[in-house]
Structure 1
Amino acid sequence: MNVAYLDCFSGISGDMFLGALVDAGVPLSELEQLIHSLQIEGCRLQATSEARNGIYGTRVLVTVDQSREKSRGFREIRKLISRSDLPEKVKEKSIEVFSSLAAVEGKIHNRTPDAVHFHEVGAVDSIVDIVGCVYGLFRLDIHAVYASRLPLGTGFVQTAHGSMPIPVPATMALLKGIPVSQTELPHEMVTPTGAALVKTLARAFGTMPPMTVENVAYGVGSRELPDRPNLLRLLAGKQGRKGKSETIVVLETNIDDMNPEWAGYAMECLLEAGALDVNFCPIHMKKNRPGIQVQVMARPEARELLTDILFQETGTLGVRFFYTQRQVVERQEVEVQSPWGSIRAKKIIQADNTEYLVPEYESCREVAQTKGLALREVYSWVSGLNTQLCETSHPSSLKERT
């Protein structure tokens, strides 16, 4: 599978992303045809080779006849993209990027997404950047995008609404659930266009996933930065393993004064609220007090809710958290028809395409209790289907759940 990793050590903007894609091999002539397809007049593309700190990359400039420049609403942009003759996947994903922008802008300005009127992002250059980036990934046959942690600038920037803090409100809203870090640079390191693109297109954030790098490309930013090259590095290559990498957040807290009876209830609350996993580890704390370390794994967007539950249900005074990645194998939820009725299981698909079934505890437990069977007997029956899976990929008693 072809994948791309965005190394955003200097942040990300739409023009940097587009420049990296052109540097990676997307023909500028095809992007010019894209503009024609969108029926945007008075717009011209130019690609130049420029260096930042001695590293050369591609900078894409979108020049617009100012007499034809105007801001547009989400509804108009959606119509502009829908009526073009671009590939359907490109149109759908481009509209999805603008939809994410419209949703946060609408919330900020107290309007419905359809009533949102873009200013900077509705300009021709931003439309070309967004649709061009989506097309570029399609053109390079990239099936999955990953991105690094995003560095943020500080200070203020002038917008159509006046002076705004950096990151501007739309950018900050889009970055919810995405790992970021603060820099002291008085510049907009992540633009709303860049944030919308990476929010919509990236599958996970953090370190580079396992991959074989085949292409290294650089998109050049407009300004010179004092402490780093203003570049977006794009690494493209193959990811041969089945499954996927994804970003998760890990919450940890050490406790030595919690009533043990509360622990099980706290675990139930965390799992019901969306935690992927919860575990308790025995530890010895200061003054050799026996205690437990609570560790919670979750999707990034669940961090605040689960942190609140830890404070509320354990009485802890502090919670550590960090973002990391995990590699998960491909799996499907299935139902198998047994002599005792339907039983849920997971079908695991390994890197060599071999498959096996893992019984679901709760489903097996329910059958065992209802039918008066030993739990191990139900487990053994489901596990016995693995012999059938070795002979055929679709045993007659197995049905995928939807």
Structure 2
Amino acid sequence: MLLAALVDAGADPRVVADAVAALDVPGLAVRTRPARRGGFACLRAHVEQPSVPDHARRLPQVLALLAAARLAPDVARFARRVFELLAEAEAQVHGTAPEQVHFHEVGAHDALADVVGCAAALADLGLLAAGAQVTCSALAAGNGHVDSAHGQLPVPVPAVLRIAARHGLALVAGELTGERTTPTGAALVAAVATPGPMAAMTVRAVGVGGGSRDTAEGPNITRVVLGEALDVPSAAVSGEVVVVESTVDDLDPRLWPSVLEALRAAGAWDCWTIGTVGRRGRPGRLVTALCAAEVRPAVADVLLRHTTTLGVRWSVQRRTTLPRRVVTVAVGPPGREQYVPVKIADVPGGEVTVQPELADAERAARALGWPVRQVCAAAISNYLREPPARAVPRQPPGHT
């Protein structure tokens, strides 16, 4: 759906076709055609399957295939990042290393064509260029169950939840049945966009991509809006945040990491615990989560199901946040570069704070064999020394 929406918004279908052909899989191709979903005109993307047999692949095999393809550097880099995100999410789900994950559906020929096609379309539209602003709204997760290589799974599937939790993507079940956001779709969005409202801009193009099903519950579409950013001065932003909390004094302390992980998966932007002492001197933990109003019921449900608490408190509070953006910085020797997102916040008075995303720094440290602190120091130094390869202005989650 995203690929079709990008082409409908103006990406050259010949550029997309050439990128997919560069994978050198005989018969693998992407075609688009007009369609209608829920009464809306849209474009449908169809992957033509090759005659050669397909098989499950591990991450190194997928990356080797991408490295051998004649792809533009920014296209190859983006496609590689998408599959790395997928492998990291699946590894967390199955308790293994990313390199050992068996890609089934997401490593098949059609998924390869989808990811490479989206990468080429994004590059053709200038959305992988330095200074491009890419934001995304909440993703429609769907509901029910879906069949997979591991049997029947609940929607959203575990890999989608892992990607959403790590990258702060908001998920909304909605009324549409079935799987509406796949792991590949979530990874594509996480690799290019940051969650937040549509930026202030002059709209230049709109693309609408349709899914395979035309359901009665509502239009099964993805929409892309392109435009030129308006010159809006940066300033501290005020908004509302929902605070959900509970005091627990009888939970096995070994379970707290899983509680915090479940809160993130439910849509909390941040969560933590602090030690407390109750009225009778019993030690306990105060668990707090910050979230949007839309996901407050899901966050509260996690606390009720994953802890021993008998009740949950919540309130709406005002907050002020600094404007921030995320840039991708290369770290490591030539030929072995790892890409680490670095969060930049604009402080009043013209100063900035620079902080690498720790989870990505840890991943880069494993790949390079460096200490994590060395990766963080190199990312900060490289950012301060030269302009970043890609900058994505980012509003705080929940900003309106």
TM-score, normalised via structure 1 length: 0.61
Match of 1:328 among 296, 311, 323: 323
1:237 aligns with 2:224: no
Rounded to whole Å, the distance in 2 between the matches of 1:72 and 1:125 is 13
Q: Find out whether 1:144 has 2:133 as its counterpart.
A: yes
Q: Give the whole-Å Cα distance in 2 for the aligned partners of 1:245 and 1:357.
A: 12
Looking at structure 1, the residues matched to 171 and 236 of structure 2 have their Cα atoms a distance apart, in angstroms, of 18
- Maintained 8 Å contact 1:311/1:317: no
Equivalence for 2:201: 211
Residue aligning to 2:314: 319
Q: Which residue of 2 aligns with 1:9?
A: none
Indicate if the aligned counterparts of 1:20 and 1:219 stay in contact, CA closer than 8 A.
yes
Equivalent residue for 1:183, pick from 148, 169, 174: 174
- Contact 2:136–2:195 (Cα < 8 Å) also in 1: yes
Maintained 8 Å contact 2:26/2:51:
no
* Whole-Å separation in 1 of the counterparts to 2:204 and 2:124: 16
Identify the residue that residue 171 of structure 1 maps to in structure 2: 160
Deviations 1:105-129 (A, max 9, x none): 1122222111111000001111111
Give the secondary structure class of the aligned counterpart of 1:42: coil
Native 8 Å contact 1:19 1:60 kept in 2 = yes
Distance apart, 1:147 and its partner CA: 0.8
Q: Which amino acid aligns with 2:272?
A: L
Residue aligned with 1:144, SS:
coil
Report the Cα offset of residue 70 of structure 1: 2.2
Distance 1:152 1:308 in 2: 35
CA distance in 2, matches of 1:121, 1:107: 16
Q: CA deviation at 1:53?
A: 2.7
1:387 match: none
Q: Which stretches in structure 1 are left out of the alignment for 5+ residues? A: 1-15, 256-299, 332-345, 351-355, 361-399
TM-score normalized with structure 2 length: 0.62
User: Counterpart of 2:103 in 1: which secondary structure?
Assistant: coil
Taking every aligned residue pair, what percent have the same amino acid on both sides?
29
Q: Please name the residue that 1:70 is paired with.
A: 55
Residue 123 of structure 1 is matched in structure 2 by 108
- Rounded Cα–Cα distance in structure 2 between residues aligned with 1:111 and 1:329: 34
- Separation of aligned partners in 1, 2:31 and 2:312: 56
2:272·2:287 contact (CA, 8 Å) conserved in 1?
no
> Quick check: 2:33–2:43 contact (8 Å CA) kept in 1?
yes
Q: Give the match for residue 285 of structure 1.
A: none
AA in 1 matched with 2:100: A
Tell me, yes or no, if the aligned pair for 2:10 and 2:205 is still in contact at 8 Å.
Answer: no
Q: CA deviation at 1:17?
A: 0.2
Letter in 2 for 1:194: G
Q: Decide whether the 8 Å contact of 1:204 with 1:247 is kept in 2.
A: no
Alignment of 1:369-388 (within 5 A): none
Give 1:233 shift. 1.0
Q: Which amino acid aligns with 1:147?
A: C
Partners of 2:347 and 2:51 lie apart in 1 by 55
Aligned to 1:114: 99
Distance 2:39 2:325 in 1: 42
Compute the displacement of 1:51 (Å). Answer: 1.0
Whole-angstrom CA distance in 2 between matches of 1:248 and 1:124: 44
Residues in 2 aligned to 1:324 and 1:50: alpha-carbon distance in whole angstroms: 44
Post-superposition CA distance 1:54-85 (Å, at most 9, x none): 32111010010354322221111111112222
SS at match of 2:47: strand
Are 1:20 and 1:234, in contact at CA under 8 Å, matched by a contact in 2? yes
- Deviation string 1:88-113 (CA, Å, 9 cap, x unpaired) is 12211211111011011112222211
Q: Does 1:88 align with 2:83?
A: no
Worse-superposed segment, 316-325 or 136-145: 316-325
RMSD: 4.0
Residues 55 and 100 (structure 1 numbering): CA distance in 2 closer, same or farther, change over 3 Å? same
1:196 aligned partner, one-letter code: A
- Look up the SS of the partner of 2:191 in the other structure: helix
- Give the Cα separation in 2 of the matches to 1:249 and 1:198: 25
- State the alpha-carbon separation in 1 of the partners of residues 69 and 169 from structure 2: 32
What is the CA deviation profile of residues 171-224 of structure 1, one whole-angstrom value per residue up to 9, with x for unaligned ones? Answer: 12111132222224321011111111112211223x322111110110011101
Aligned amino acid, residue 123 of structure 2: F
- Whole-angstrom CA distance in 2 between matches of 1:119 and 1:247: 44
Report if the CA contact (8 A) 1:307-1:319 is conserved. no
2:196 is aligned with 1:201:
no
What is the distance in 2 between the residues matched to 1:246 and 1:98?
A: 34
Shift of 1:136: 0.9
* 1:326 Cα deviation after fit: 6.8
The count of aligned residue pairs is: 285
What amino acid is the match of 1:312?
L
Contact 2:138 2:169 in 1 (8 A): yes
Query: Does 2:33 match 1:44?
Result: no
CA distance in 2, matches of 1:233, 1:220: 9
User: Offset at 1:155?
Assistant: 1.4
